[in-house]
Chains A and B, each alone.
Chain A
């Protein structure tokens, strides 16, 4: 770590199929934004600047899932151009909410929704970036947490390991003195199988965790599902609970399919 770094690392912020919410988390980091802008060379960030330079890049922050043939090509190009490739958000890390279509017939959607379906070309599945190219680090969440993003950037600049935990939301929940909504209210909560990082936001507002940070390091979805049933949830409800923003993450996907009514 040196205060006189030789050259600022070039950073590209690249979007695939997504809502832009994760990119905006960076702009939302008011306190650190100027410091971040001063420490990096923004080479490509169409959402927020005029920067549209081509690669190579030191760091690529990738938002969004892969849903089209073009994007499947584009992510390979970007990988070749990027020293470090970081995926940000549930879309990029697990396929996002749009992966719900993976259980349906996309061609049928296209026929029903679009007036001229022949102009629409799409893949059958919405898939995470890591299914296409090697990824150096994944930042979870729908959307990501701006503090985690700044921590990741600061750690990358310093050449240290980022403090991004992979344990359950429950640990943050208890540290923050929330009263457990599952135990004290009987509210279904995915916190025990979901990765920390949000600061246990939903339980702090008396709601169950929706799992938007995806599976934690050792998610025991079977045991939690059994408990959800004890709490009065039906199979369909349990299936839906796992089929959210990270439905295509394999552990949640498996859990949702196990409880799906056929």
Chain B
């Protein structure tokens, strides 16, 4: 295993990091403020980063607020995940054309721009790993995903702050960004004028970029302080999912009053699945034009909360919102384990914040498992 290269990077060097990556031909995608939230979009330089902003999150509520300490990465997670860039919400799979007595299939055109992602959190690395497992490592390899995923340069940022909706610590997916899957891991330490990054290179490509940034050697004390900041973020998390026996408990409580109670609140709007960084379900739509000479097949993100999701010949299998919510929660925390060996939840908390009525899967899971099926659990 190659040694991790650890350095100390002055705070302003973030700008050089972006320029260096851009100079190497990468399209740089990173956090930026748009429409009242931090979103992941193409950024030109460090000016685009959400410096001076933080987010306040609770179930069903998100607000940006200014922060005075000039932290570059002083926020947690916005509504979007990197899924948008690796597995886009709508993709044209092919076009079919009929012309001069011939029938031709065109496309798809795989996207092969070299891209760099800046500001990937630990839970998001875990989510990318989960999607890799589904889309690359399973029996059906998704060529379009593979093309987008290949060669992405990833700059991860460990969290030194946790939103009240975060629960990565209980799932072991954060807040410390692991070295796997990324090229550089940054930990931002900001304490008044004392503002710097612990920068760790993972592999030759990351080390080579760090070498260009005039990084200084880092001391034991630097490492310790950065680690302490991440540890504090883990300690501050108030939500958790206890994985021990969770799958069995959910399976044993397939009929439980709590499913009815949550179905009364759930809008079946699908927001939770759209923002979830691991949800991978899609639907196919075939179009033909008015003349009947051209057809297209599109793939779009789907959600197990829609009626058509479980449609098979003759009707939908999951007609009630109760059945759909149960599908969602069971897939995230139980049946995903049957399929892939790990939970399908990385603890990012997006489904909690971006649920318009603030339904919290950690609370639902706990109520269903803790209380058994005694019926005395209605919210």
Q: Does A48 contact B (CB under 8 A)?
A: no
Q: Please, which residues of chain B bring their CB within 8 A of the CB of A160? A: 286, 288
| Stretch from A35-43, A54-62, A74-82 at the B interface | A35-43
* Distance of B4 from chain A, by nearest CB (Å): 35
B356 near A227: Cβ-Cβ < 8 Å: yes
CB contact between B35 and one of A163, A165, A167, A178 (< 8 Å): that residue: A178
Q: Does A120 contact B (CB under 8 A)?
A: no
Q: Please, which residues of chain A bring their CB within 8 A of the CB of B357? A: 192, 223-224, 226-227
Q: How far is the CA of A28 from the CA of B307 in the complex (A)?
A: 32
* Distance of B261 from chain A, by nearest CB (Å): 11
Q: Please, which residues of chain A bring their CB within 8 A of the CB of B307? A: 166-167, 217-218
B293 near A3: Cβ-Cβ < 8 Å: yes
Interface string of B3-46 (1 = CB under 8 A from A): 00000000000000000000000000000001111010000000
Q: Please, which residues of chain A bring their CB within 8 A of the CB of B64? A: 184
CB contact between A179 and one of B37, B89, B285, B290 (< 8 Å): that residue: B37
Number of interface residues of B (CB under 8 A): 49
Q: Does B301 contact A (CB under 8 A)?
A: yes
B356 near A192: Cβ-Cβ < 8 Å: yes
Q: How far is the CA of A200 from the CA of B128 in the complex (A)?
A: 28
Q: How far is the CA of A168 from the CA of B307 in the complex (A)?
A: 11
B268 near A168: Cβ-Cβ < 8 Å: yes
Whose C-beta in chain A lies nearest to the C-beta of B268?
A218
Q: How far is the CA of A220 from the CA of B35 in the complex (A)?
A: 27
B286 near A168: Cβ-Cβ < 8 Å: no
* Distance of B12 from chain A, by nearest CB (Å): 29
Q: Please, which residues of chain B bring their CB within 8 A of the CB of A171? A: 269-270, 274, 301, 303, 306
Q: Does B98 contact A (CB under 8 A)?
A: yes
* Distance of B328 from chain A, by nearest CB (Å): 14
Interface string of B76-91 (1 = CB under 8 A from A): 0011100010000110
Residue of A167, A186, A193, A206 with most chain B CB atoms under a 10 A cut-off: A167
Residues of A within 8 A of B (CB): 1-3, 5, 32, 35-36, 38-39, 150-151, 153-155, 157-158, 160, 163, 165-168, 170-171, 174-180, 182-186, 189, 191-193, 206, 217-218, 220, 222-224, 226-227
